[in-house]
Amino acid sequence: MKKMQSILLVDDDEISNMLTAMKVNELAMTERVAAVTSGQQALDYCIAHCLTPAADSCPDLILLDINMPGMSGFEFLEKLNQLGCPRLPKVVVLTTSSSPRDVERARSLKVTGYIDKPLTPEKLFPLLED
Amino acid sequence: METFVDSLTSPAFMPHGHCYYWQPDILWSHALADGTIATAYFAIPLVLFYLFAKRRNTHYSWVVALFALFIVGCGITHVMDVVTIWNPLYRLDSLFRIITALASVGTAIALAKITPQLLAIPTAAEWRRHNDELQAANEELRVTNEELVESRHFIHKVMNTIPNSIYLFDLTSYQAIYTNKDLLVILGYSQSEAPTPGPAVMKKLVHPDDSEKRMQYYRDFSTAEDGERREIEFRLRHADGNYRHYLFTNAVFRRNAAGVPDQTIGVSQDITALKQTEENLRNTLHQLREANEELSRTEETLQELNNELEERVEHRTRELAESNERYELVAQATNDAVWDRTYSQRGVRWNRAFEQLFGYLTPEEKAHPTVDAWLQRVHPQDLTAILDLIKHSVATASPVWQVEYRFQRADGRYAYVLGRGVILYGEDRRPRRMLGSLTDITSLKETQLSLLQQNQQLQKINSDLDNFIYLASHDLKQPVVNLEGLLSLLRGNLPAQLAAGNEKLFSFMEASAGRLKRTIYELTEISRIQQEAPPDAEEIAIPPLVDEVWADLAGLVAQAGGRLETDFPVASIHYSARYMRSILYNLLSNALKYRAPERAAVVRVATRLEGDRTRLTVADNGLGLSEQQQSNLFVMFKRLHTHGEGSGVGLYMIKRMVENNGGEISVASREGQGSTFTVYFSNKAGI
């Protein structure tokens, strides 16, 4: 798999974020991993990094949790789609929720994939193949 | 010698003038008169010859010649009279006179002889009359001729115009010798395709079945009277190949010397359309006759029905009378308030229960009960609905109405009542009578309302519970996932020696975390089955799926020394693949988990078709279940055996899956011998 410029982890559970970051590093998927703990922070991050014409620092992939206090993963997705980024990052939902309602809603928001925690290459990599 | 001729001219005599003494007056008067007579006598034959030449009549030419000779002779005698005055040629004179005398006598005799003929010659008047007669006859002839031509033209036109063929038929040669229209043309044959005319042609044209009949018809003409008309119908083949019906009418036209008819005159007429009409008429007549019979039958049936109806009316009248009595009795006996309103009468009747139930009727209302007494007590919010309902019932001729409403008691509080009405309609479909009842359902209504509230609460609790399970499972999952991750991290980060020394502790921790995770997973699954719509059904091949699940359970199979026996007369099923897999997984893993330790596990999986359902059985030779255990088998988190790794959710979960999709699951078991799980899948359901 092609190495990515950067990956953004979005999860209110910091331990989860840490474990995911360690896994991403272990898999050597990218040089730069950023982690935020709410939907709002993730949106701010994208505004800061994805709206410039060059948008080099815009993450290639966002691993997004759904159930977060404040702005949920879904709300973040809706706002991200409205931002009008020149290049939209791929979004893979990484969650402990296997509710059909959540799966359906994520699909309607056109995410790249929906996987159950914990992150494993077996679950993630097939989604990233073009 | 003196010749005869000389003697004739010899002047031996004295001239005749001497007789006149040469007196000029007498002499010249004789001379001139005789000369004139002679001239006239010479002229007459000339005229006669002229006339004869113009009107040549061969019959009487000799008479004319004699007459001319006689006149000329007379003329010559007169000339001789003149000559002899001066020249005494008396002998010549005598000769001429003799000749003249002979001619005169001959002429006289001839005239006498032909007088009868001459008398027979018509006079001019007669000729004119004859002529006139002839002219008249001639005119008559001309007129007759014109009439004849006209008549002939008329006949010709008639012959050409009439559509029928008129013909003369020769009974000797058996063929038509005259016809105004060629039969072949009438039958639509063109010049090229027409059979050669003659007796043979009729053989080709006449329908084979009619041929003998036709011959006999003509043969029979030998006995026909004059003026007698005989008819025959037979079929002739039209150029289009179809046979057409013709009517032929013949009469004797001519007889031979022996007086036997040898020619007939006939007329042919195409009666195909007539025949068709006749046929149609016959069919119509037949249909009419059938319809008539049907009508008679219907009439009989109607009569029977009518009799039956009369009986029923009588019966119903009796019933009604009894029913009215019953009504009175029921109205008195019932606890319901009952009212009765007859439209043609004023007012309304109430039974005693009305007063008992609602506490009052004013003396005025008791004396003159009206519908208003009822309407005034209906809750204002419910009144419109009731009136609308009754109006609608009447408009649609509906016999019954029913409505719940609030009705005021004497103390001012409202009671909940169930109002029912029965409307009886007259023959004009107008309401005739309405019977109604009021049942006090206040306590029922209150119970119902409280039940409804409880139900809503329960639904809310249920929904909250679902939400709780969903959220709890999610929120529980997260730390467990973290825990697993951290344990794995910790194990990797610890110095090898330390890790090895605590291996047992690690494995306990990991097992606990795993168990916790599985329980949470199963909880989530149950919650998911409750929430989600049934997954899409598809055609599943059962044998490979069973093999696949058996392979997934390889670890357990090895531990149990398990053997799989299958029997699949029904090899496929229309069902959710995920659910089917889950059902098989749970049943097969249970069969292996709860095996009898003393014997190798044998698991029999079989399918059958039963009515419109597919039956799946999974039988084992394991521990088996007591009756009490069997009754608790499908309850959530109920583990029946102390050993094994069950969470107690699996059977509950598959029961939900099966039942949510119209199926059922049951167990039959004997302790120590084994258990048989039977699942029925509804083939009718959408899944």
Q: Can you tell me the ipTM of this complex?
A: 0.83
pLDDT at residue B641 greater than cutoff 60: no
Q: Are residues B102 and B23 in the same domain?
A: yes
First to last CA, chain A: 10
Q: Phi first, then psi: give them for residue B403, nearest 5 degrees.
A: -155, 150
B430 and B456 inside one domain: no
Identify the helix (H) or strand (E) that includes residue B141: helix B124-161
Closest alpha carbon to B205 in B169, B239, B237 = B237
Does a structural domain hold residue B292?
A: no
CATH number at residue B478: 1.10.287
Residue B455 lies in a domain: yes
Measured distance CA(B503)–CA(B485) in Å, rounded: 16
The arithmetic mean of pLDDT across residues B512-541, rounded, is: 80
Q: How many domains does chain B have?
A: 5
Residue B242 lies in a domain: yes
Listed in order, strand segments (DSSP E) in B623-686 are: 664-670, 674-682
Which residue in chain B has the smallest CA separation from A120? B485
At B588 the pLDDT is 94
Instruction: Say if B136 falls within a structural domain.
Output: no
Query: Is it true that the peptide bond before B199 is cis, omega within 30 degrees of 0?
Result: no
Cβ pair A19:B524 closer than 8 A: no
Task: Flag the least confident range among B201-205, B241-245, B253-257, B523-527.
Answer: B523-527
Please check whether residues B499 and B547 belong to one and the same domain: no
Q: Rounded mean pLDDT of A86-99?
A: 87
B-chain CB neighbours of A67 within 8 Å are 471, 474-475
pLDDT digits (tens, 9 = 90+) for B417-431: 888 888 888 888 888
Percentage with pLDDT > 90 across chain B: 24
Distance CA B402, CA B414 (A): 19
Both B420 and B456 in a single domain? no
Task: Please give the average per-residue pLDDT across B330-343, as a whole number.
Answer: 72
**Per-residue pLDDT, B335:** 67
Regarding whether B408 and B342 lie in a shared domain, the answer is: yes
- Confidence at B251, pLDDT banded by 50, 70, 90: very high
For range B450-466, the mean pLDDT: 86
Instruction: Please tell me the predicted confidence (pLDDT) of residue B376.
Output: 82
pLDDT band at B7 (very low <50, low <70, confident <90, very high): confident
Q: Using 50, 70 and 90 to split pLDDT, how confident is the model at B377?
A: confident
In the predicted structure, residue A32 carries a pLDDT above the cut 80? yes
Residues with Cβ within 8 Å of B579's Cβ and at least 6 positions away in sequence, in order, are B535, B657, B661, B687
What pLDDT does residue A77 have? 93
Using one digit for the tens of pLDDT, what is the confidence trace for B494-515? 887 777 778 888 888 888 888 8
Claim to verify: residue B542 and residue B650 sit in the same structural domain: yes
For position A68, which CATH number holds? 3.40.50.2300
B607/B686: higher pLDDT:
B607
Distance CA B60, CA B58 (A): 6
Taking residue B189's Cβ as centre, other Cβ atoms within 10 Å add up to 18
- Domain containing residue B677: 535-682
Kindly give the pairing relationship between strand B400-408 and strand B414-425. antiparallel
Which domain does A105 fall in, by range? 4-128
pLDDT the model gives residue B640: 52
% residues pLDDT > 70 (chain B): 92
Instruction: Tell me the chain A residues in contact with residue B478 when contact means C-beta distances shorter than 8 Å.
Output: 13, 16, 96, 117
What pLDDT is attached to residue B475? Answer: 78
Choose the most confident range, by mean pLDDT, from B125-139, B407-421, B637-651.
B125-139
Q: Which region among B418-427, B528-537, B630-639 has the lowest average model confidence (pLDDT)?
A: B630-639
Q: Which residue has the higher pLDDT, B619 or B66?
A: B619
User: Is B492 in CB contact (< 8 Å) with chain A?
Assistant: no
pLDDT exceeds cutoff 60 at A81: yes
Residues B447 and B415 in one domain: no
- Which pLDDT belongs to residue B685? 46
Residues of B in contact with A72 (CB under 8 A): none
In sequence order, the 6+-apart residues with CB closer than 8 A to the CB of B175 are B169, B197, B198, B199, B202
> In chain B, which residue's Cα lies nearest the Cα of A16?
B482
Q: How far, in Å, CA of B594 to CA of A98, rounded?
A: 30
Are both B492 and B414 inside the same structural domain?
no
Q: Is residue B324 part of a domain?
A: no
CATH number of the domain bearing residue B557: 3.30.565.10
pLDDT category of residue B194 using cuts at 50, 70 and 90: low
Mean pLDDT of B615-619: 96
Tracing tokens 């007549």 back to the chain, one arrives at: B285
Determine the pLDDT at residue B369: 72
- Taken in order B422, B426, B431, B433, the sign of the CA dihedral is negative
What span, in angstroms and rounded, lies between the C-alpha atoms of B673 and B648?
22
Q: Model confidence at A110, in pLDDT bands (50, 70, 90)?
A: confident
Q: Is residue B329 part of a domain?
A: no
Greatest mean pLDDT among B187-201, B374-388, B509-523: B374-388
The beta-carbon neighbor of B481 closest among A67, A101, A117 is A117
Per this entry, what is the length of chain A? 130
Whether B528 and B541 map to the same domain: the answer is no
Average pLDDT estimate for B340-360: 74
CA distance B82 to B78: 7
Alpha helix (H) residue ranges in B165-260: 183-186, 199-205, 208-219
For position B629, what pLDDT does the model report? 81
**Domain CATH for B411:** 3.30.450.20
pLDDT of residue B687: 41
Q: Is residue B518 part of a domain?
A: yes
Residue where a domain stops, chosen among B513, B532, B551: B532
Number of domains chain A is built from = 1
pLDDT of residue B662: 86
Query: B509 and B563 in one domain?
Result: no
Contacts of A24 in chain B (CB under 8 A): none
pLDDT of residue A55: 58
Range of lowest pLDDT (B146-150, B225-229, B613-617): B225-229
What percent of chain A is predicted at pLDDT more than 90? Answer: 52
Worst-scoring range by mean pLDDT, B46-55, B65-74, B390-399, B526-535?
B526-535
Based on the fold, state whether residues B542 and B663 are members of the same structural domain.
yes
Pick A10 or B64 by higher pLDDT.
A10
Better-predicted residue by pLDDT, B411 or B169: B169
Which tens digits make up the pLDDT trace of A50-70? 887 665 788 999 999 998 888
B306 has a pLDDT exceeding 80: yes
Beta carbons of A118 and B486 less than 8 Å apart: no
Cα B559 to Cα B601: distance, rounded to the nearest angstrom:
10
* Per-residue model confidence (pLDDT) at position B647: 55
Query: pLDDT value at position B661?
Result: 85
Q: Nearest residue of B to residue A22 by CA position?
A: B489
pLDDT score for B686: 41
Q: Kindly report the average pLDDT of chain B as a whole number.
A: 84
Best of A98, A102, A103, A105 to mutate (most B CBs within 10 Å, chain B): A98
Residue B289 lies in a domain: no
CA atoms within 13 A on the CB side of B243: 13
pLDDT at position A37 is 93
Q: Which amino acid is at B160?
A: N
Q: What's the gap in Å between the CA of B447 and the closest CA on chain A?
A: 37
Report pLDDT for A79.
Answer: 92
A34, pLDDT greater than 90: yes
Instruction: Give the mean model confidence (pLDDT) for residues B549-555.
Output: 92
How high is the mean pLDDT of chain A?
88
Same domain, B655 and B553: yes
Sign, CA dihedral B442-B448-B452-B457, equals: positive
Which residues from A are below 8 Å from B when comparing CB atoms? Answer: 13, 15-16, 19, 22, 67, 95-101, 117-118
